[in-house]
Amino acid sequence: MIRVEHVSKAFHGKTVLHDVNLYVTDGEFLGIIGSNGSGKTTLLRIMSGEERPDEGNVSLRGRLLERWKVRERAQQLTVVSQEGLTPVPFSVYDVVMMGRHVYQGRFQPPSARDREVVEHVLAVTGLEGMSPQSVAQLSGGERQRVAIARALAQEPRVLLLDEPTTYLDIGYQLSVLEYVKKWQVAHGAAVVAVLHDLNLAAQFCERIVLMEGGHIAAEGAPSDVLQADILQRVYRTRPTIVRHPLSGVPQVLLGS
Ligand SMILES: Nc1ncnc2c1ncn2[C@@H]1O[C@H](COP(=O)(O)OP(=O)(O)OP(=O)(O)O)[C@@H](O)[C@H]1O
C-alpha cells in the first residue's frame, strides 16, 4: 500500500532520517513511537508528500508519491498533522465537509452521500452537538477531534495521524482510536499513527516501529518492541512491563 525505501533527510546539514525502510499494508494499523526529535514527524510528513526526502522514495499503491495527481492522491491518503486545525471562523460541519471536497466538482453542492458521511463521522467523534459552532471557539481537544473527523470524512485508503490523542481526555483518546480502528478494519484501510502513549500503541497497533536518532531501532508486534531493555535504551528510563488484565497486551508502567 505505502512503501518507504532508503529515505534520508537532513535539515541545515543535520541528518534527521538515515536510510529508513518501511512498509504499511492494506488493513494494517502501524504505530510509530520513539524519543523526542527521533524523526517520527519528519517520516510521517515524507510519507504524506508534505516533505520531500533528500534520498530514497515513497510509493503509494506501487506508484511514486510525486507521480500522483493531487486530487487522486487526496482520495487515497490523508494526514492529520500535530498542529491540528487553525481556529478558522467556519462551522464544525463545514470544516468536516471540506474532507469531501476531493470527491466534489467545482462549485458543486454536497451530495446526499457527502452529507451522510459527514453526519456519521460527526456522530462517532462526538461532535454532533457542536456542528453549527465556529471552530474558532473550540478547545484544543475539540479542534483535534474536528481535524480527525475531517480526515475520516475524506475516506482515505491510508490515514496518517501525528500524535492524534495529545490534546484528548482519556475518554476521547479511546473512543477516537476505537473508531479509527473500527473504520480501518471495515474499509481494509491502512493507518499509520505517531503515538507517544505506548499503552495506547500496544492496544491499537498490530505492528510498532520504534525510532531512535533517525533510525528504526526496533520493529515488530507490540510484545516484541515494548520490552524493558529496548525501551530503556531509547527512553533512558527503565519501565516495568505488565500485561493488560483484560486484553493481555503489554502495558508500560513508569517509576519504581
Ligand atoms: N523544518 C525543519 N527545519 C529544521 N529542522 C527540523 C525541521 N523539522 C524537523 N527538524 C528537526 O528534525 C529533528 C526531528 O524532528 P521530528 O519532528 O521529526 O521529531 P519527532 O520524533 O517527531 O519529535 P517529537 O517526539 O518531539 O515530536 C528535530 O531535531 C527537529 O528539530
Quote the CA–CA distance of 145 and 126 in Å, as a whole number.
Answer: 8
**Among the listed residues 182, 175, 147, 172, the one whose alpha carbon sits nearest the alpha carbon of residue 161:** 147
pLDDT of 29 reads 97
Strand residue runs (E) in the chain:
2-11, 14-24, 29-34, 55-60, 63-64, 77-80, 158-162, 190-194, 207-212, 215-220, 240-243, 250-253
pLDDT at 90 (0 to 100): 94
* Residue 214 beta carbon below 6 angstroms from any ligand 1 atom: no
CA of 53 to the centre of ligand 1 (A): 14
- Predicted complex ipTM exceeds 0.95: yes
Phi-psi group of 125: left, alpha or beta (phi > 0 → left; psi -120 to 50 → alpha; rest → beta): alpha
Q: Which pTM was predicted? A: 0.93
pLDDT of residue 224: 97
Instruction: Give the residue, by CA position, lying nearest to ligand 1 atom 16.
Output: 39
Q: Is 34 in the pocket of ligand 1 (CB under 6 A)?
A: yes
Are the CB atoms for 161 and 150 separated by under 8 Å? no
3-state secondary structure of 104: coil
> For residues 183 and 153, is the Cβ–Cβ distance under 8 A?
no
* 58, 2 contact by CB (below 8 A): yes
Q: Which residue has the cell 490515514?
A: 159
C-alpha cell at 193: 499513527
CA 117 to each of CA 72, 111, 153, 188: distance values in angstroms, whole numbers, following the listed order: 19, 10, 6, 17
Q: Which of the listed CATH numbers 3.30.1490.190, 3.40.50.920, 3.40.47.10, 3.40.50.300 matches domain 2-87+156-253? A: 3.40.50.300
Amino acid type, 42: T
pLDDT score at 255: 80
Rounded distance, CA 247 to CA 180, Å? Answer: 18
pLDDT by position in tens, the chain (length 256): 899 999 999 999 999 999 999 999 999 999 999 999 999 999 999 999 999 999 999 999 999 999 999 989 998 999 998 777 887 889 999 999 999 998 887 778 899 999 999 999 998 888 999 999 999 999 888 888 899 999 999 999 999 999 988 888 898 888 889 889 988 998 899 999 999 999 999 999 999 999 999 999 999 999 999 999 999 999 999 999 999 999 999 999 998 7
Distance CA 88, CA 83 (A): 13
* Cβ–ligand 1 contact at 52 (below 6 Å): no
As a whole number of Å, the end-to-end CA separation of the chain is 42
What is the reported pLDDT for 38? Answer: 97
Ligand 1 pocket, 16 CB below 6 A? yes
List Cβ neighbours of 77 (8 Å cut-off, separation of 6 or more): 2, 48, 49, 60, 156, 157, 158, 159, 160
86 lines ligand 1 (CB under 6 A): no
